[in-house]
Amino acid sequence: MASDLFCTDLVRRFGDHTAVDRVSLDVPAGTFFSILGPSGCGKTTLLRLLAGFDRPDSGEIQIRGARMNDVPPNKRPVNMVFQHLALFPTMSVGDNIGYGLRRQKVPAAERTRKIARVLEQVGLPGLEDRNPQQLSGGQRQRVALARCLVLEPTLLLLDEPLGALDLKLREQMKVELKHLQKAFGTTFVYITHDQSEAMVMSDQVAVMRQGRFDQVAAPETLYRNPATPFVAGFVGDNNRLSGDVISVDGDLVRLRLQSGEEVAGRIAGEGIATGRRADLFIRPESLVMNGAVPDGYSRMQATVTTTLFDGANSRIEAGVADQTIFARLPQDGSVSNLSPDSAIQLGWDPQGATVFAGEPV
Ligand code: ATP
């Protein structure tokens, strides 16, 4: 499929700080693409380059094959939704949505038709004459989206648009945004520091750290096959156990933990060799306990420190030498009998744990 957005080696420096460091992107038409990373990693700077509010020091931006580097923001086929929605408070919903159309000199009758249609598409039919103050937070969010989508941009850039909403509304809007993106077929480039937002909504996620992309992949791939320790730790809950590599066999590696126990996982990334430090990442839900550990699983002894009831599951925290590991286990009798200081055995499928080379000792 043709790319809506194609960037090569984008760099943006502020003094001696490189905020965007050789970022390349290829986003096919109709994709929900998220850029996920912690505060300060360069997400907003990158989005501003795409929107044209700022210029890269080097590298190229193409939208549908056309070079954009020298094209001003208002001439790019791009629209942007900000965290703070900035609807015009004194204008009706209809006038807010029609604002861009009027600037494009779209005739009044066509404007009215387009406004009515987009309001229907975002689930707010007939609200043209309302004032933004008369709307709920979620409705205002939809009007802000409608205002952009009505202009039929090639790309819609979204800068943490759910950040200002309360938790419940945010959960609801995640699902709605994804539906709207698919219904309109517009390519979304969405930035967020919230991994659950990125995972739920996106077709592709770029995990950004210190100005660079660590990995660009579908959410499930990021979760199952993280390319770096940072991705393993940032996307979803994960346990990290450090040890020394004692053997490598095909794609499996065995480590000795500080407790003296030997555990196994699948090699991910470069630099794993006998005698070197390595980190094993294991998801809380990949752990099983005591009698539930099948043959062939890696296993270790642990001492329960805390058990927390978490609805359908229990969250067990347990100590392994000087490290803490947590498990998400089904809420059944085996869990309710546990108390702090209980000795348990935790096991996992070695293929379901990823091992990265650690810092040299
Ligand atoms: P957040 O999630 O907190 O918004 P972010 O990932 O969007 O963070 P950016 O705002 O892109 O991060 O900032 C990346 C880095 O570049 C930061 O260290 C920031 O201080 C720096 N930076 C951003 N804009 C400027 C500027 N105009 N001048 C100097 N430094 C800047």
Give the domain CATH number at 305.
2.40.50.140
Task: Say whether both 99 and 193 belong to one domain.
Answer: yes
Does residue 206 carry a pLDDT above 90? yes
CA-closest candidate to residue 49, choices 78, 28, 17, 27? 78
Q: What is the pTM of this model?
A: 0.90
The answer on 294 and 155 residing in a single domain is no
pLDDT above 50 for 339: yes
252 and 226 in a common domain? no
Q: How far is the CA of 53 from the centre of ligand 1 (A)?
A: 14
Among the candidates 188, 217, 233, a domain finishes at: 233
Whose C-alpha lies nearest to ligand 1, atom 30?
A: 14
Q: Is 12 in the pocket of ligand 1 (CB under 6 A)?
A: no
Q: Is 2 helix (H, G, I), strand (E, B) or coil?
A: coil
pLDDT at 343: 92
78-116 residues labelled b (16+ CB within 10 A) or e (exposed): bbbbeeebebeeeebbbebbbbbbeeeebeeeebeebbe
Distance 160 CA to ligand 1 centre (A): 14
Mean pLDDT for 171-194 is 91
Kindly give the number of the ligand 1 atom that is closest to the alpha carbon of 54.
27
Nearest residue to 346 via CA among 306, 309, 291, 307: 291
How much distance in Å is there from the Cα of 79 to the middle of ligand 1?
Answer: 21
360 falls in which pLDDT band (50, 70, 90)?
low
Pocket of ligand 1 contains residue 43 by CB under 6 Å: yes
**Structure tokens, 61:** 């931006």
Q: Is the domain of 174 the same as that of 50?
A: yes
Which of 178, 208, 233 is a domain's end point?
233
Total domains in the chain come to 2
* CB distance 126 to ligand 1 below 6 Å: no
Ligand 1 center to residue 189 CA distance, Å? 18
Top pLDDT among 2 and 73 is at 73
> Can you tell me which atom of ligand 1 is nearest the CA of 41?
6
Judgement on whether residues 181 and 269 belong to the same structural domain of the protein? no
Is the confidence at residue 105, as pLDDT, over 70? Answer: yes
Structure-block tokens of residue 217: 């992949």
Q: Which domain holds residue 118?
A: 3-233
User: Who contacts 193 (Cβ-Cβ below 8 Å, separation ≥6)?
Assistant: 36, 37, 38, 39, 43, 160
From ligand 1's centre to the CA of 178, what distance in Å? 27
Confidence of residue 361 (pLDDT cuts 50, 70, 90): very low
309 and 334 fall within a common domain: yes
Pair (108, 221) in one structural domain: yes
CB 286 within 8 A of CB 349: yes
* Domain containing residue 113: CATH number: 3.40.50.300
Given pLDDT bands bounded at 50, 70 and 90, which one contains residue 85? low
* 35 and 160 belong to one structural domain: yes
Same domain, 76 and 118: yes
Domain boundary among 184, 204, 233: 233
**pLDDT grade, residue 87 (50/70/90)?**
confident
Tens digits of residue pLDDT in 219-278: 999 999 999 999 999 999 999 999 999 999 999 999 999 888 999 999 998 889 999 999
221 in the same domain as 244 = no
The average pLDDT across 319-329 equals 88
Are residues 141 and 42 part of one domain? yes
Specify the residue with its C-alpha closest to ligand 1, atom 1. 39
> Based on the domain organization, do 255 and 352 belong to the same domain?
yes
